[in-house]
Each structure stands twice: as structure tokens, then as C-alpha cells.
Chain A
Amino acid sequence: MPYEIFSDHGNSSSRADDSFLAMPDWSSRSLRVNSLIAAPHVVWLSIFVILPLCAILFISLLLPSSATTYEPRLTVSNYAQVFQEPYPAVFLFSILIAASTTIICLLIAFPLALAIAFSSERRHFFLLLAICMPFWISTLIRMYSLQEILGRQGVINKVVLGLSEFVSSMIPMLPVLDPLELIYNRIGVLIGLVYAFIPFAILPMYASLVRLDRKLIEASRDLGATFFTTARKIILPLALPGISAAATLIFIPAIGAFYVVDMLGGPEELLIGNLVQLQFHEFNNWPFGAALSVSMLICTLLVWSVTARLRAKIYG
């Protein structure tokens, strides 16, 4: 909703006057005050983020045991197992699905973000609110309603079949269509993922497009460029920071979105998130599950650093 939180591209360089804003540390007393302010969340993050990450790293190096979930003996066998069939294939599939989701989201969202950024300023807020509202409803529930729409008995098939029956009754040569298979397969997973993560594409792109100086577009048009040339040569390059932020924000959660696959995918489709969830909840093999999720984390960080470098390159 408040898109400003997405528009911070993590660069602190924009604040050269940083030192001017903060007050100097005067005495040991003000140092105490500063620590009083800094302490709560530093402590919180240390306990509930840093320690758990260490814990999962630690447990991923322990031997699995069916009775006590893990034995206190160090091993790397869990990581070796990650590289055995069928896991690399699942990793590859997850990355492909997440990448396709990202691309589809960006393609849908770019004109959408443009439409909002170009509308009159009073409408921006309400359009953004309208875009974000579904996003604030539990993804789980949205996936459930997609089930009702996409299924063999779902709304879309009802409409399509009804139409085709009607058409074939008018023109007997045309056969009645079979129900469309929109769910419990890859299509279903893709639709679900796109539906779940599309706001992550719209908001950052909007944030960078709205800051774009409109005179640039006017200038480009003034100099005789068509809309598509303007879009390609002026708008797209300037929106790149937003696009790369969007790509990261979609790709990372998409790899782990196991519930989307659970609800809309078939037995063939598995994401890394599903593997982790299965190891923890079905097979009770925590060390291996931990190893899987550490691997996933590493994938994520790789994506993050690649896009961060890309952004650094764009900024020059």
C-alpha cells in the first residue's frame, strides 16, 4: 500500500547530508540513550533471525535419526543428498517456474504501472489501493478461490463449455469442447504464482515510473518519437531499477511458495518449498530439510547479489 517502502533501492549514497541530520553523541549519557533506542530490535533480530539461521545451519550438519529427529554427530551427508536425484531436477524446475512467473508478472505489470503513473495524480492513490487490496487478503484464500474458478467444474469452464455447446448447437460441424485443464498442472501453478505475486511487480515499477520526469516523455514526443520508441528508449531504461527490484521481490518468494503448488499443482509439480515442507512435516527428516532450506537460501542470496550488482551497474 505505501509504495514508498518499495522505492528505497537500498542505496544510502543519496544522503550525502546524513551527518548533518543526526545529532552528535555528546556524552556517555547520550550514548546510553542511543543504545536504549537501538537495543530492542537489535536484540530481537539477533534472537529471532540470526540465532534461528545459525540453528538451521547447525542442524543441517547433523545426522538424521528417526527417533530423536537428529543425532549430535556432524556430517555433510545431507548436502550430498541434495545433489542426488531427484533433487537437482526439482531445483531446476523451481528456478524455471519462478523465472517464468517473474517474466509473466513483469510483462503484465509494466503497462499497468504505466497506466497508473500516467493517470491523474488524484487517482494514483485509489488505483494503487485497488491493486493492493487483493494482495492483503491471505494468499491461501486467494488460491482457494482460484481453485473454484479454474477447476473442471469451475466458473471459467462453465462459461467456456456453455459457449461451445451453444455454438455447436448453432453450427453442428463444430464439436463440443472438452473441459479445459487449467488446474492441477503447470498452468495452474503458473496462474496461481502470478496471481499471488503480481503486486510485487506493480508497486516498485510504479514507484520508479512515477518519479520519472514527464518532461522527458514530452521531449521525446516533441522530437518526433512514436510512443513505442519512447517507451523503449526513454521509459524502459529509467524504469530498470524498479524492474530489477520487482524481479527480486517475485523470484525469491516464488521458489518457496509450496502452498500454491499444494493447491493448484498436480503430483508432478514440486518446488523447493514443497521439498522442505515435506521433510519437516511428512518424513520428519529435519537435518535433510534444513540442508534443503539452506541450499534454497543460498540460491536466493545468489539471485539477490546478482540483481544487486545489476542495479549497481545501472546506477553506474
Chain B
Amino acid sequence: MNVVSSPAIDARGLSKNYAQVCAVADGTLQCKSGELVTILGASGCGKSTLLRLICGLEKPDHGQVLIQNRDVTAMPPEQRPVNIVFQSYALFPHLSVYDNIAYGLKVTKQNSQTIRQRCGEIIDLMQLTELSKRLPENLSGGQQQRVALARALVMRPVALLLDEPLAALDAKLREQMRAYLGELQATLGITFLMVTHDQEEALVLSQRLAFMHEGRILQCDTPETVYRLPANLLIATFLGKMAFVPAQIDSDGNMFSAFFDKPICLQRNLPAGRITIGIRPEHVKLHKTNSAEKLEVAVNVKRVDFFGQSKLVTTVGVDQTILCAWLKADQPIPEGKLMASWEAASMLIFDDTGQRVSW
């Protein structure tokens, strides 16, 4: 793995409008060399457009794209040292697997020796030897995916861009391919920039995760940080499960909410005003009797969803606020009225504008 201090991809303030509709408003993103970065967001948030801007399939209205410190903003896609794997794979249906893979080397006029050698290497690596004479229509989804990867990787790109690479596969295969992608990236050490709307995929695979919403990247950090400390309510809502409780803080630092029966003194310097509390179900404990915890409310069990290794208990508080808790599969649920409690430190607080307040 070559260690280059300059980022492989450096997108600076990219923006793109389609006929008044803003697709990307402020695309700023850096990928270090050899890093696997995912862009996560709901469909229509502009993440695919950002990818297309980086590989040159779209021309930005504003902003710059730098690849290994070279400004490629004005370059057509064929001259950029990055390659893309399309969601639809876009394999050439009239060419065999081998010809698909060799296409890029042929059009860039490599000599036939090089072409044969590099195609051979990548075909071995991707275990496509047996398929190399087939046409794409005779391949399964996973095989097509591997061909698409091989076709891009044979070009030895500075960075590989993947547009929803797993979306077209069925659930079982998706998990396999996910693991495969991670291993492949680790082996090759090439920068991967992947776009997905699947949070599990993003959390599992990425070394860094960029959350995108309405054309802007709202947070870009390790998956753990983004999950534990989401920058705002949007991310918190999107990633994982979280219960939200509206509350109010007065000038003395006391918190009031219809959810709690009493005001709670947090003894921290939080600004006064409306806030929203976020509680992850894995931090919630359910028990029969009062505990020593300060943060504790009375709840009723509404529903239990069984997930195999664990179960999710949905409860409602006195003001009908919904609070969930993960329980082990074999853990019994106490009957009747319950108390739910959690540690104060595990609680997230968002201010009036939805930004997380660190406390």
C-alpha cells in the first residue's frame, strides 16, 4: 500500500442544479488514499450525482474536483484516473466477459501484451476464469457484479467509485458480496468511494461514513462516531433506532417534559429552550421496581418484535411517547407496569434547530 499524504479524491464545494432542482448543493469530501468511504443518504439526496460529478459524468456548476492533487474539474471522464461501477453494472451486452474487461485497456491503446497480462491477473483475482467467454446475459447477478468490478479495476484507478453496488442483489447474496467488497478493498488498497442508501452496508463496510441530505454532506466521520454521536436529528433518525422525547430546559438547567413525572436537574450548562432528547434502545433497561437511576419513567409494553438473537420491546410512556428497548431473546419481559431507565451519559440532546449539543 502506497502512502501518499495528499488525498486521493478531494471534492471542494461542488454544486449541480438540474433545471432549478438542486441535486448537489455543497459537495465537499476528501478521501485519503486506500480508504473506504461511503456516502449514505436517502434516495434523491444527491449522492449519486456527487459520484457522477467526481468521475466526470456530470459537469459541476461550481466547485472543484482534485484527484491526487490534480485539478480534473475540466476533464472529460475518459481522462480521469477514476472508474465507476454502475448500479445496473452497465456491462456491454454484445461483448463477452473478457472483452468487457479488456475494453478499457483497448480503447486507451495499451499494447496487446499488457492487455492480456492485466486482464489475466484481474480475471484470476475475481475468479472469473470459467466465465470469460460468456455473454453478460448468461451470468447471475453476483457474477455480473464481479465482472463490473473487474472491468473497472483492470484500469488500475486511483479510486474506484461504486454506485449502490449491492442494491440489485438479493438479501443473502448482498451480505456475501458486502464481505467480498471489504476484503477486496483491503487486498488491493485502492480507495473505494461507495454510495448507498443501506445503513447496515455503510456501517459495516466503511472506514469513514459521509451522511448526505438534500445535496449537502452533514457529517463525515468513522461509522462508530456517526452512529454514537450523530451531528443532528436527521442523521439520528436515519441511522439505527432512536426514541425522541421533546423537552424544555429552564434557566436553572432543569429539564421538563410530559414524559417525566418530575423535573430533572441535569447539572450541566445546557442552554435554556426547547430540546429533543434521543435515546437508543440498547441503552434502555426495563425493570419491575424503581432503580437508583435518575432517568426513569413508567411505561407500558405495547409490542414485542422478535429478531432471532434479540427482541425489541416497544413501550409507551404516560404521554404516549414511544420508547424502545433491546432485550436478549431469552430474557423474560416482566408483567404489568414497568420502569424504563437509562444512563444520563448515553442520552443525546438536540437543540431547537436539530443540532446535537455536546454535554
Chains A and B share a contact (CB less than 8 Å): yes
Q: Interface on A for B, CB 8 Å cutoff?
A: 19-20, 23-27, 30
Query: Which residues on A sit within 8 Å (CB–CB) of B77?
Result: 23
Bound together, the chains give a CA A30 to CA B77 distance in angstroms of: 12
Bound together, the chains give a CA A24 to CA B53 distance in angstroms of: 11
Indicate if the CB atoms of B57 and A27 lie closer than 8 Å.
no
Query: Which residues on A sit within 8 Å (CB–CB) of B76?
Result: 26-27, 30
Q: Distance in Å from the Cβ of A200 to the closest Cβ of chain B?
A: 34
Bound together, the chains give a CA A27 to CA B79 distance in angstroms of: 12
Query: Which residues on B sit within 8 Å (CB–CB) of A20?
Result: 18
Indicate if the CB atoms of B59 and A24 lie closer than 8 Å.
yes
In residues 31-83 of chain B, which contact A (Cβ within 8 Å)? Answer: 56-59, 74-77
Indicate if the CB atoms of A27 and B74 lie closer than 8 Å.
yes
Query: Which residues on A sit within 8 Å (CB–CB) of B57?
Result: 23-24
If A24-B58, A26-B59 touch, does A19 touch B74 (CB 8 Å cutoff)? no
Bound together, the chains give a CA A26 to CA B73 distance in angstroms of: 10
Q: Does B19 contact A (CB under 8 A)?
A: yes
Indicate if the CB atoms of B59 and A19 lie closer than 8 Å.
no
Query: Which residues on A sit within 8 Å (CB–CB) of B19?
Result: 19
> Tally of A-B residue pairs with Cβ under 8 A?
17
Q: Distance in Å from the Cβ of A271 to the closest Cβ of chain B?
A: 46
- Sort chain B's interface into a size bin: 10 to 19
Query: Which residues on A sit within 8 Å (CB–CB) of B59?
Result: 24-26
Bound together, the chains give a CA A23 to CA B53 distance in angstroms of: 11
Q: Distance in Å from the Cβ of B233 to the closest Cβ of chain A?
A: 31
Query: Which residues on B sit within 8 Å (CB–CB) of A27?
Result: 74, 76
Q: Distance in Å from the Cβ of A121 to the closest Cβ of chain B?
A: 21
Output the nearest chain A residue to B19 by Cβ-Cβ distance.
A19
Query: Which residues on B sit within 8 Å (CB–CB) of A25?
Result: 59
Bound together, the chains give a CA A190 to CA B59 distance in angstroms of: 58
Query: Which residues on A sit within 8 Å (CB–CB) of B75?
Result: 26
Bound together, the chains give a CA A92 to CA B75 distance in angstroms of: 62
Bound together, the chains give a CA A24 to CA B76 distance in angstroms of: 9
Output the nearest chain A residue to B56 by Cβ-Cβ distance.
A26
Bound together, the chains give a CA A19 to CA B76 distance in angstroms of: 17
Output the nearest chain A residue to B49 by Cβ-Cβ distance.
A20
Output the nearest chain B residue to A29 by Cβ-Cβ distance.
B76
Output the nearest chain A residue to B79 by Cβ-Cβ distance.
A26
Output the nearest chain A residue to B18 by Cβ-Cβ distance.
A19
Query: Which residues on B sit within 8 Å (CB–CB) of A23?
Result: 57, 77
Bound together, the chains give a CA A73 to CA B188 distance in angstroms of: 81
Bound together, the chains give a CA A23 to CA B57 distance in angstroms of: 6
